């Protein structure tokens, strides 16, 4: 194959292989195979230097104006908003049901007669 041409699958094969290598190395480190966590260390001056230089770039303060935590994506934010609205509607409905029923007044109480009048609700 000439130098300036490459097949379509070459890049995919390399990225897939690299992905498997990174996954395997991560599993080996996480499960402490070969006791890697005890001998693979970042020197203290290097970590301090990285923390002071890169830490300032990546630092973001926690938001204080949020009343409730929000999801990471717009879809999650919409779902949480809808759930909050549904919960508010349920609490309002529960509050309405807990109120005493409206007083029932009959017209017959004001006009005594032998006829039964319908019940009026106020």
* Confidence class for position 119, pLDDT limits 50, 70, 90: low
What is the rounded CA–CA span in Å between residue 89 and residue 92?
A: 5
95 plus 74 within the same structural domain? yes
Contact 42, 33 (CB under 8 A): no
Q: What would the pLDDT profile of 44-79 be if each residue is shown by its tens digit?
A: 899 899 888 888 888 888 767 666 666 678 888 888
Q: Is the pLDDT of residue 35 over 70?
A: yes
- pTM (predicted TM-score): 0.30
Q: Strand pairing partners for 120?
A: 105
Specify if 75 maps to a domain. yes
Q: How many domains does the chain have?
A: 2
Specify if 4 maps to a domain. no
The larger pLDDT score, comparing residue 41 to residue 86, is at: 86
Q: Is the pLDDT of residue 85 over 80?
A: yes
Provide the residue range defining the domain that includes 112.
Answer: 70-122
**DSSP secondary structure of 74-100:** HHHHHHHHHHHHHHHHHHHHHHHHHSP
Specify if 20 maps to a domain. yes
Specify if 26 maps to a domain. yes
Q: Which of 25, 41, 60 is the last residue of a domain?
A: 60
Specify if 65 maps to a domain. no
The larger pLDDT score, comparing residue 88 to residue 113, is at: 88
54 plus 80 within the same structural domain? no
Q: Which two tokens stand for residue 117?
A: 């009048």
Specify if 112 maps to a domain. yes
Q: Which two tokens stand for residue 77?
A: 């934010």
């Amino acid at each position: 194959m000439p130098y300036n041409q490459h097949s379509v699958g070459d890049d995919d094969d390399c990225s897939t292989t690299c992905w498997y290598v990174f996954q395997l190395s991560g599993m080996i480190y996480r499960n402490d195979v070969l006791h890697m966590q005890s001998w693979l260390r970042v020197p203290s001056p290097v970590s301090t230097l990285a923390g002071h230089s890169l830490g300032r770039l990546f630092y973001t303060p926690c938001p204080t104006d949020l009343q409730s935590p929000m999801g990471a994506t717009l879809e999650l934010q919409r779902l949480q908003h809808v759930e909050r609205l549904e919960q508010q509607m349920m609490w309002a409905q529960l509050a309405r049901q807990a109120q005493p029923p409206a007083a029932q007044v009959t017209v017959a109480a004001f006009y005594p007669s032998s006829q039964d009048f319908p019940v009026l609700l106020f």
